[in-house]
Amino acid sequence: MSFRTKFNLVLLLTFGLALVLATAYFRNEVQQATLDEVKHEARLSLQAALAIRSYSSRHVKKRLDLGEDALFNPDGVPAFVAMETMRILFEKYPGYQYSEAVLNPLNLTNEAQEPWIREIIENYRSGKTPYADAEVSTHIRDQTLHLFRPIKITDASCMACHGRVEDAPLNMVRIYGDTHGYGWKLGEIVGLQAVTVPLDRARERSAAAFGSFLWPMVAVLLLMFAALNILLQYWVINPLSAQNFKLSHQATTDPLTGVMNRRSFMDHFQLEMEAARYKYEPLSVLVFDLDLFKTVNDTHGHDKGDLVLRDTASLVKAGLRSNDKLARIGGEEFALLLPHTTIAGAKGLAENLRRLMEQQSIQNPPRTTGSFGIATWDGRESRESLLKRADDAMYAAKAAGRNCVVVDDSVHRTN
């Protein structure tokens, strides 16, 4: 797996984790903000109902209370005025509702009938609720937000209608009867004011807000991913590749001549043997050594000797095929790996190289010739054995007077 692939996998995992965490956090924040907004709307509605109640109690009801002989007018009751006004207001807001739920109401349409609402009222009455009397409580039920405020009798004038039935206005008793809505006590919690707000539209707004966040964030992350890849390419991969190429070149190349070193040669040797075994093709090795090279160094100096080695490598490389491999495997010793080459082909190449080296040494003294040894793989022996046979043949060429080619044909494969 390449460095870029690993980097991108780490980057994708990091961005994915960041996106998941950011999405979860923002979704929660959006939902909470939307819920807070709904609660705020419900509180405003409740405050509007309280304001209407207060105004009705101070101004409207007093004008309608004309004494015991006057006809009782329900339109002057603050609770009735508040509910009717809020009903008109909420006609344009489907699902929104203001109501008053009482345990013992005068008007039975206001009776708390839902068991869970009666339970909340009883909790207020018994002090089990964590909210103070002036506070509101919120409850989410069936995708609807319910905002409750306890109705507590704090105005003594309320007792004129809801105290003893004997003290209530006769016209009111005639309308509502004498069995319910009485017996309230000052300081008692008798019911709840309730504002109901549907959450479906709020959730739609929440989803829209979340979508407006998610896609830009995904786009930003993709842009960051692309930008980091570009920066990675120019700031990391290109310099690293150049450095790796340099190190690889240094590790596999002879620094003086520019051809392969012994380590790289042996690696290629193994690969070529495997290819030759698989394809059942010939493989030959040629080893040559510069004759009397120590004399060159001693007489002309090491700088001249280095120049001779470089010139020899260049001369040999120019006469090779593209798939032939040249390496410097010792001080003045070189080796050639010759795929698809028989003994005859290797010998012809060696004779040609020997003549070129001889001619060059005559044209550009000092005189340096080469002794060549050749061996062809038998399809079974190891690379070390094959290389040793070629090396032994090279030493045989030196023993035969130098500047010649010797072939080890003791073991070879017929083609």
Question: Structural domain boundaries of the chain?
Answer: 3-204, 262-408
Give 131's pLDDT tier (boundaries 50, 70, 90).
low
Q: Which positions ≥6 away from 65 have C-beta within 8 Å?
A: 76
62 has pLDDT over 70: no
Q: What confidence score (pLDDT) does residue 205 get?
A: 77
292 has pLDDT over 60: yes
Give 15's pLDDT tier (boundaries 50, 70, 90).
confident
Q: What confidence score (pLDDT) does residue 413 get?
A: 46
Measure the CA–CA gap between 357 and 371, rounded to whole angstroms: 10
**Average pLDDT estimate for 4-13:** 81
133 has pLDDT over 70: no
- Measured CA to CA in angstroms, residue 41 lies from 75, 120, 247 at distances of 27, 22, 71
Choice among 64-78, 337-351, 392-406 with the minimum mean pLDDT: 64-78
67 has pLDDT over 60: no
Average pLDDT for the chain: 86
The pLDDT tens digits for 109-125 are 899 989 999 998 998 88
225 residue type, one letter:
F
* Residue 162: burial class (beta carbons within 10 Å; 0-12, 13-18, 19+): buried
Q: What confidence score (pLDDT) does residue 69 get?
A: 47
Question: Nearest Cα to 149, choosing from 112, 185, 124?
Answer: 124
Question: Nearest Cα to 4, choosing from 181, 178, 241?
Answer: 241
Strand pairing of 333-339 and 137-141? unpaired
Give 72's pLDDT tier (boundaries 50, 70, 90).
low
12 has pLDDT over 50: yes
22 has pLDDT over 50: yes
Q: What confidence score (pLDDT) does residue 254 get?
A: 93
Q: How much of the chain exceeds pLDDT 90, in percent? A: 41
Strand order of the β-sheet with 283-290 is: 325-328, 333-339, 283-290, 370-376, 405-408
Q: What confidence score (pLDDT) does residue 386 get?
A: 95
pTM over 0.85: no
Q: What confidence score (pLDDT) does residue 246 get?
A: 76
The answer to whether the CB of 393 falls within 8 A of the CB of 406 is yes
The pLDDT tens digits for 30-46 are 888 888 888 888 899 99
**Average pLDDT estimate for 150-156:** 88
Q: What confidence score (pLDDT) does residue 38 get?
A: 86
The answer to whether the CB of 195 falls within 8 A of the CB of 49 is yes
Q: How much of the chain exceeds pLDDT 70, in percent? A: 93
Written out in words, the top-level CATH class of the domain with range 262-408 is alpha beta
Q: What confidence score (pLDDT) does residue 414 get?
A: 41
94 has pLDDT over 50: yes
Higher pLDDT pick, 129 / 6: 6
Choice among 76-90, 113-127, 235-249, 284-298 with the minimum mean pLDDT: 235-249
Q: What confidence score (pLDDT) does residue 215 get?
A: 81
**Average pLDDT estimate for 64-80:** 64
